[in-house]
Amino acid sequence: MIVGVPRESFPGERRVALVPAVIPNLSKAGLEVVVEAGAGAAAGYPDGDYIAKGAKIVSDRAEVFRAADIVVQILCYGSNDKTGKADVPLFRSGQVLIGFLRPLGSIETIREIAAKGVTSFSVELMPRTTRAQSMDVLSSMGTICGYKAVVLAADTSPRVFPMLTTAGGTITPARVFVIGAGVAGLQAIATARRLGAVASAYDLRPAAKEQVQSLGGRFVELPIEAKDAEDARGYARAQDESFYKRQRELLGKVVAESDVVITAAVIPGKKPPILVTKEMVASMAPGSVIVDLAGERGGNCELTRPGEIAVEHEVTIIGWFNLASTVPYHASQMYARNVTAFLLHLVKGGKLQFDTDDEIIRETMLTRGGEVVNARVREFFSLQPLPAEVKEVAKS
Ligand SMILES: NC(=O)c1ccc[n+]([C@@H]2O[C@H](COP(=O)([O-])OP(=O)(O)OC[C@H]3O[C@@H](n4cnc5c(N)ncnc54)[C@H](O)[C@@H]3O)[C@@H](O)[C@H]2O)c1
C-alpha cells in the first residue's frame, strides 16, 4: 500500500504532511511512502532525509497522486480554497484522502470531492477523546498557534514581558489577556507566563477556569452565564447577540488594562463573535497589541483585517492566518505523528479498514462511494440522514 505526500500548494504554506522520522513506523505496517520532490524543503526536511528513511521521491505531482492508495496532505482541496482545486482531476476513485477538508465550510466543495469517488477523512472531525488524542491534529496546530501568537505579540510590543529589576529601575511585567481558553488560548497563557508576563484569560466554558489556573493564569470571571456553554464534544455553543453584547461590556475594562490581548474564541462552523469592539481598541494604551487567532474566519476584533496587520488608535492588530505554517518544522512533525497514528489505525494487516462502528473512523470519514457520509456534516448542512444501505456500503 502506497502513501503519497504531495508538496503543499497553498500560497506561503511551508509545512509538509509527513516528515522523514515517521517513515520507519509506516514501513513496519507495510506502507510505502512516495513524496513529491521538495515537499519538505521549506519545513527543514530535505529530499535526502526522506530517501534515507526509505521513501521514494517523485518529481511529478500527478505521479504522486497516480501511485498513491492514500494521499496525505495538510491543506487539501476544501481548506485550500486558492490552489486546491487543481488537485481534483488527480484524485481517483477508491483513493483515500486525509487532510484539512474544512467539513463545515462549503458543501459544494465536499460534493466535488465525493463525486471523484474518494474516501476522504477530515482531520478537523477527529473526536476529542483520550483514545484519539495521538491523532488530534487540531490540538497540535492550536498549540503551535497559541505559542506563535505570544511570540509575535512580544516581538511587536514596545515593552518587555518579564518583571526586571535593572540598573535603570524596576520594570513591571506585561499584562497579557487571552479570550477563549481552548488549546491555542491555553498555550498562549503558558507561553506568556514563560516569558514572564502576567497572564489572565476568559472563556465562556466554566471547565476552562481550572485549566487556566493550573497554568498560572488568572481566570477572569464575568457575572454572566452562557446557556448550555458546552456541547457533548466539549466545544462551546454559539450564544445569542444579547449575550455577546453583555460580554463586550464586561470585557471592556480588562481589555483596556491589558498590554496584549490574544483572541481565540471560536465556535466550529460559525462566524466568530466580535468580542473586542473598536471602542475597546481605542481604550487600550498606545503600543498595545492584539493578536486575533480567529482572523481567518473574520476575527474576534472588530478592527481585524483578516490576513493583515492593522494599526488603529496606535494599537497593532495582527490578523494573520495559518500561523502554524510559520513554525513549519515542528508543526509538520506534530502533524506527521498525528496522521501516522491515524494511518496505523486505518490500515490493519496491510488492508484499509473502514469500520464505521469505530468512533474514530466514523466521525472523521467525510466522503465515500460518491456520497457525503458524515452524519454531523449532513446534519450541519440539513441533508437527509443516509439510508441504512448506503451506511453499509461505507463500512465495506
Ligand atoms: N483529548 C481531549 O480530550 C481534548 C483535546 C483537545 C481539546 N479538547 C477539548 O475540546 C474543546 C475544544 O477545544 P479547542 O481548542 O478546539 O477550542 P476551539 O478552538 O473550538 O475554541 C476556542 C475556545 O473559544 C471558546 N469560546 C467560544 N466562544 C467564546 C466566547 N463567546 N467567549 C469566550 N470564549 C469563547 C471556546 O470555549 C474554546 O475554549 C475544549 O473543550 C477542549 O478542552 C479535548
Q: Whose CA is nearest to atom 33 of ligand 1?
A: 203
Distance 142 CA to ligand 1 centre (A): 10
The band of 233, judged by pLDDT with boundaries at 50, 70 and 90, is: confident
Contact 213, 193 (CB under 8 A): no
139 is an active site residue: yes
Cα separation of 214 and 239, whole Å? Answer: 27
Choose the catalytic residue: 136, 203, 259, 292. Answer: 136
At 244-296, the pLDDT tens digits run 999 999 999 999 999 999 999 999 989 999 999 999 999 999 999 999 999 98
Cα separation of 300 and 292, whole Å? Answer: 6
pLDDT the model gives residue 394: 67
Q: Whose CA is nearest to atom 41 of ligand 1?
A: 234
Sign of CA dihedral 55, 56, 61, 65: negative
Q: Which residue matches cell numbers 472523521?
A: 364
> What region does 334 belong to: left with phi over 0, alpha with psi -120 to 50, or beta?
alpha
Cα separation of 43 and 38, whole Å? Answer: 10
Q: Is the pLDDT of residue 396 over 90?
A: no
pLDDT the model gives residue 332: 99
Q: Whose CA is nearest to atom 14 of ligand 1?
A: 182
Q: Is the pLDDT of residue 391 over 80?
A: no
Reduced to 3 states (helix: H, G, I; strand: E, B; else coil), residue 75 is strand
133 is an active site residue: yes
Contact 231, 256 (CB under 8 A): no
Show the CA angle centred on residue 79, arms to residues 344 and 155, nearest 5°: 100
Choose the catalytic residue: 120, 139, 239, 258. Answer: 139
Strands 175-179 vs 260-263: parallel, antiparallel or unpaired: parallel
Pocket test for ligand 1, best of 145, 177, 205 (most atoms within 8 A of CB): 205
Cα separation of 363 and 370, whole Å? Answer: 17
Reduced to 3 states (helix: H, G, I; strand: E, B; else coil), residue 176 is strand
